[in-house]
């Protein structure tokens, strides 16, 4: 077992007086100082939740892909924004979700897609599996769009709004499996929908 010890400096009355004087001088010794420029800016933190589901695309005989959903939101001031997805650890059967984040300058193209995440952290939304995406990024004020769907869709799929599992017709019936496309996205920061 290791003993812990704390060492404190021993100060004489004179050195205590000098310390108090120095502290007073550094703080300008003024109780009338109403200058709020030294007060750190507090950025309000809010959380918004969006629930939804990814839809399967079917050609009439089999599933051939799935939708990519969009969640537009606004960052009101430069702040840290987190996007926390609850999917794989919450619904049975589960969906291995993926997200993209794009800055919305009025016309979104591939250059506006700034972040993506597939397997993130558990986050604070109740996720129990790391299959749920999680992002925490510093964003300037502005408009953004989060794209969400099942893994693994591309930036082009995000912009098109769907992901095709096949490019040409398979010889046999395609069965993507029992996948529940439900999700809940929590966006936190100085944000609003």
Positive or negative CA dihedral for 29, 34, 37, 42? Answer: positive
23-37, 66-80, 128-142, 158-172: which has the highest mean pLDDT?
Answer: 66-80
Which pair of tokens denotes residue 67?
């939708």
| Residue 85 and residue 149 in contact, taking contact as beta carbons nearer than 8 Å | no
Domain edges within the chain: 46-192
Write out the CATH class of domain 46-192: mainly beta
Cβ–Cβ under 8 Å, residues 90 and 75: no
In percent, how much of the chain has pLDDT > 70?
A: 66
pLDDT of residue 8: 28
Residue of 54, 52, 47 lying closest to 96 (CA atoms): 54
Residue 126 backbone zone (phi > 0: left; psi -120 to 50: alpha; other: beta) = left
pLDDT of residue 43: 61
C-alpha span between 116 and 151 (Å, rounded)? 11
Which pTM was predicted?
Answer: 0.71
11-15, 71-75, 126-130, 157-161: least confidently modelled range: 11-15
Q: What is the mean pLDDT of residues 45-56?
A: 89
Contact assessment for residue 97 and residue 150, using Cβ atoms and an 8 Å cutoff? yes
Give the Cα separation of 123 and 133 in Å (integer): 9
> Which pLDDT band holds residue 27 (cuts at 50, 70, 90)?
very low
Confidence at residue 118, expressed as pLDDT on a 0 to 100 scale? 87
Distance between CA atoms of residues 112 and 39, nearest Å: 35
d(CA 28, CA 19): 14
26 three-state secondary structure: helix
């Amino acid at each position: 077992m290791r003993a812990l010890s704390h060492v404190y400096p021993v100060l004489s009355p004179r050195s205590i007086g000098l310390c108090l004087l120095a502290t007073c001088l550094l703080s300008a010794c003024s109780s009338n100082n109403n200058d709020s420029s030294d007060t750190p800016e507090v950025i309000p933190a809010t959380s918004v939740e969006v629930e939804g589901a990814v839809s399967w695309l079917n050609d009439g005989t089999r599933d051939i892909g799935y939708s990519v959903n969009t969640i537009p939101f606004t960052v009101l001031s430069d702040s840290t924004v987190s996007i926390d997805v609850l999917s794989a650890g919450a619904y049975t059967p589960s969906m291995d979700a993926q997200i993209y984040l794009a800055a919305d300058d009025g016309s979104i193209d591939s250059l506006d897609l700034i972040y993506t995440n597939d397997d993130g952290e558990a986050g604070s939304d109740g996720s129990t599996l790391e299959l749920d995406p999680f992002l925490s990024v510093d964003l300037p004020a502005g408009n953004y769009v989060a794209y969400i769907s099942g893994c693994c869709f591309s930036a082009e799929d995000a912009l098109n709004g769907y992901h095709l599992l096949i490019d040409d017709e398979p010889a046999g019936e395609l069965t993507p499996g029992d996948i529940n496309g439900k999700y809940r996205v929590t966006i936190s920061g100085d944000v609003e929908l």
